[in-house]
Homo-oligomer: A and B are copies of this chain.
Amino acid sequence: MIDNEIREHIDKISSQMRRQYSEMLRELDLHVGQDNLLCKLWREDGITQMQLTEQLNCEPPTVTNMVKTLEKKCFVYRKKDSVDGRVSRVYLTEKGSAVREPIEQMWCNQQEKILKGITAENRVLLNEILQQMEKNLR
């Protein structure tokens, strides 16, 4: 069945991508997934952990742990919100800002690699289909 093949392809592509990202990120002393968290801070520095859980689509303890390890490695730091004492805001350090370029370069390379041999029209179509699939999962 083709539907089954599609599910298996997606499974394999995502796990293989993850593995390759993992390898490349190691050189920057980062773990897979941490690049996505930093990306949210590049877009808006100082967002709350709650906003991170929403944007990363994960659970609060995951953010707590990720931020904690990123803090230990000096990519980010935390500061309590001055108005709401419950809220913890996450900020980039210089080191956290500095890895932006190599990470974006890495993403770019990976995109090129994965889409090699696929025509421009097919990329557009693929994007539409994936958008539909993403919507279907919500």
Contacts and interface: CB of A to CB of B under 8 A. Distances in A.
A57 B12 contact: yes
5 contacts: A3-B112, A13-B14, A16-B134, A113-B136, A118-B133
Interface string A56-75: 01000000000000000000
Interface in A105-137: 107-108, 110-118, 122-127, 129-134, 136-137
A36 B7 CA distance: 12
Interface of A: 2-7, 9-17, 19-20, 36, 57, 107-108, 110-118, 122-127, 129-134, 136-138
Contacts of A116: 136
Contacts of A3: 108, 111-112, 115, 123
